[in-house]
């Protein structure tokens, strides 16, 4: 399982912005030794890091980590640093700095043994989550619910407009205020951009944006970036300087809107945006990313755009957002398939998708012929939704410092690999 040693070393590498190779060099140990310290405790090759190395790493982090001079983070909790008008809410990735994001990732690392069903925690015992989903959802709704339950809380769900009082003309203000009397936190998904912020203004309990129309999907972007960092750690890469190719519906796809802004907190990235002209990324988002000093290229050729990419992020065409517009130009040339990946990418590329992928013929979404390719990270992404959403709840509800000391062993058994096609490195990094 993920040990305190792994959490400590991962956090140190993140803060120092170093690959495993450069970190091993910096602390004067062999890469192989570092790898054995980073293995799960129950692996036969796991080794304990000597106390003297731990002390040395701690000193280096104190002295050299770019954020360690930031006094704000020493005196202010993450909950306060990301607050919206003083309230603990998660509406947009714009609430985050690189440092606060990496603080959240450290908390997600702490959650891993619970997410992997090795430990249980009851820190949210008695708390109730309200899941208000006015749009289709499987993973976001269930993973937020499961994350809350795994921290000891309980969940009440409502789905769609038909069975809610909004079908009777109730306002967002009234719905939000009423729900606040029943539950301790709300996750809201709604088809209109800005609507979740409206829910948030009408209450003082934590509100999380589970997707507001074509606006944002902040928790998805966080789990995506967390996945990228974990995959890069294994591959010896850094987010700084990476080449990220985004493919598909970049106009209405809220996941890519949040993800590109979050990645822009890092340095010197190159983005290749590949979509038909009618589905291009909104200009205000591209401007924001370019102002951050990144290179953004737009292309309609998948073959050229994917060449040399470290990350290929494919998306589904958001058909539900095209009122009566025809979807023009989404032809098979936009499909990310095994043959294409083999032609233009190398072993160090990772292939991602927020899911669901449209697997119906003619949809031209991410091809299922990649299912056995270990570069396909889509299920590692969905798995990471649990520790990230647990971390978000823990921060917004102020229990993040209690979790590590309040874990017990599980009493039931789970398979060590959840899916039959999971790559052998899954869970071992
Ligand atoms: C996405 C969404 O709802 O924005 N799904 C998800 O939450 N992972 C992507 C999509 O529906 O295409």
Ligand 1 nearest-atom number relative to CA 255: 4
pLDDT of residue 161: 77
Q: Which residues pair with 299 in a beta bridge?
A: 274
User: Which is nearest to 268 in space by CA: 237, 235, 290?
Assistant: 290
Ligand 1 nearest-atom number relative to CA 254: 4
pLDDT of residue 420: 81
- Residue 267 to residue 70: CA distance in whole angstroms: 19
Q: Is 353 in the pocket of ligand 1 (CB under 6 A)?
A: no
pTM: 0.93
Q: Is 217 in the pocket of ligand 1 (CB under 6 A)?
A: yes
Q: Is 382 in the pocket of ligand 1 (CB under 6 A)?
A: no
Element (DSSP H or E) covering residue 142? helix 139-150
Ligand 1 nearest-atom number relative to CA 189: 3
pLDDT of residue 429: 44
Residue nearest to ligand 1 atom 12, measured at CA: 316
CATH of domain 75-213+385-407: 3.40.50.1370
Q: Is 176 in the pocket of ligand 1 (CB under 6 A)?
A: no
pLDDT of residue 428: 42
Distances (CA, A) of 372 to 56, 113, 167, 346, 368: 41, 26, 44, 16, 9
User: Which is nearest to 247 in space by CA: 93, 350, 353?
Assistant: 353
My answer on whether omega of the bond before 356 falls inside 30° of 0, hence cis, is yes
| DSSP class per residue in 356-396 | ----STT---S-GGGTT-TTB-HHHHHHHHHHHHHHHHHHH
In the numeric block, which tokens belong to residue 27? 């602390």
User: Which is nearest to 395 in space by CA: 11, 83, 118, 69?
Assistant: 83
Q: Is 219 in the pocket of ligand 1 (CB under 6 A)?
A: no
**How many angstroms is it from 56 CA to the middle of ligand 1?**
43
- Residue 250 to residue 287: CA distance in whole angstroms: 15
Pocket test for ligand 1, best of 134, 313, 355 (most atoms within 8 A of CB): 355
Helices and strands in the chain: count of H runs, count of E runs: 16, 11
Distances (CA, A) of 52 to 56, 62, 348: 6, 15, 34
- Residue 294 to residue 238: CA distance in whole angstroms: 15
pLDDT of residue 72: 59
Ligand 1 nearest-atom number relative to CA 140: 7
Helix (H, G, I), strand (E, B) or coil at 128: strand
Q: Is 211 in the pocket of ligand 1 (CB under 6 A)?
A: yes
- Residue 413 to residue 10: CA distance in whole angstroms: 27
pLDDT in tens, the chain (429 residues): 557 899 999 999 999 999 999 999 999 999 999 999 999 888 889 999 999 999 999 999 999 887 654 555 667 999 999 999 999 999 999 999 999 999 999 999 999 999 999 999 999 999 999 999 999 999 999 999 999 999 999 999 987 877 777 778 889 999 999 999 999 999 999 999 999 999 999 999 999 999 999 999 999 999 999 999 999 998 999 999 999 999 999 999 999 999 999 999 999 999 999 999 989 999 999 999 999 999 999 998 999 999 999 999 999 999 888 766 666 667 788 899 999 999 999 999 999 999 999 988 888 899 999 999 999 999 999 999 999 999 999 999 999 999 988 899 999 988 878 888 776 654 444
* Residue 6 contacts residue 395 (beta carbons within 8 Å): no
Please tell me the chain's helix, strand, coil percentages from 3-state DSSP, rounded to the nearest 5. 45, 15, 40
Q: Which CATH number fits domain 219-376: 3.40.50.10860, 3.30.930.10, 3.40.50.700, 3.40.50.1370?
A: 3.40.50.1370
């Amino acid at each position: 399982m993920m040990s305190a040693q792994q959490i400590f070393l991962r956090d140190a590498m993140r803060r120092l912005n170093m690959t495993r190779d450069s970190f091993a060099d910096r602390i004067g140990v062999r890469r192989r030794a570092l790898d054995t310290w980073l293995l799960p405790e129950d692996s036969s090759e796991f080794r304990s890091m000597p106390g003297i190395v731990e002390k040395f790493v701690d000193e280096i982090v104190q002295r050299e980590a770019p954020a360690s001079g930031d006094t704000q983070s020493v005196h202010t909790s993450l909950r306060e640093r990301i607050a919206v008008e003083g309230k603990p809410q998660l509406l947009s990735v714009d609430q985050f700095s690189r440092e606060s994001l990496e603080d959240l990732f450290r908390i997600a690392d702490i959650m891993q043994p619970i997410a992997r069903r090795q430990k249980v925690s009851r820190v949210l015992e008695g708390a109730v989550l309200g899941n208000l989903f006015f749009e289709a959802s499987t993973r976001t709704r269930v993973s937020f619910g499961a994350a809350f339950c795994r921290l000891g809380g309980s969940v009440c769900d409502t789905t769609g407009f038909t069975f809610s009082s909004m079908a009777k003309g109730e306002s967002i203000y009234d719905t939000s205020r009423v729900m606040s009397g029943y539950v301790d936190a709300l996750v809201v998904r709604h088809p209109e951009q800005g609507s979740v912020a409206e829910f948030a203004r009408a209450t003082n309990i934590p509100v999380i944006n589970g997707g507001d129309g074509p606006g944002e999907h902040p928790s998805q972007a966080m789990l995506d970036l967390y996945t990228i960092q974990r995959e890069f750690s294994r591959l010896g890469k850094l987010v700084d300087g990476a080449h990220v190719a985004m493919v598909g519906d970049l106009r209405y796809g809220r996941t890519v809107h949040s993800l590109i802004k979050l990645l822009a907190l890092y340095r010197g990235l190159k983005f290749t945006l590949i979509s038909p002209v009618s589905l291009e990324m909104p200009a205000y988002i591209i401007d924001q990313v370019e102002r951050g000093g990144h290179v953004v290229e737009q292309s309609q050729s998948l073959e050229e755009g994917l060449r040399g990419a470290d990350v290929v992020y494919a998306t589904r065409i958001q058909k539900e957002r095209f009122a009566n517009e025809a979807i023009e130009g989404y032809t098979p040339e936009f499909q990310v398939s095994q043959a294409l990946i083999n032609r233009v990418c190398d072993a160090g590329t990772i292939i991602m998708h927020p899911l669901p992928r449209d697997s119906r013929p003619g949809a031209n979404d991410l091809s299922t012929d990649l299912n056995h390719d270990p570069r396909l990270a889509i299920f590692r992404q969905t798995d990471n939704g649990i520790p990230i959403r647990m971390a978000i709840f823990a921060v917004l509800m102020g229990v993040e410092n209690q979790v590590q000391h309040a874990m017990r062993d599980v009493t039931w058994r789970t398979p060590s690999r959840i899916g039959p096609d999971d790559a052998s490195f899954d869970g071992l990094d």
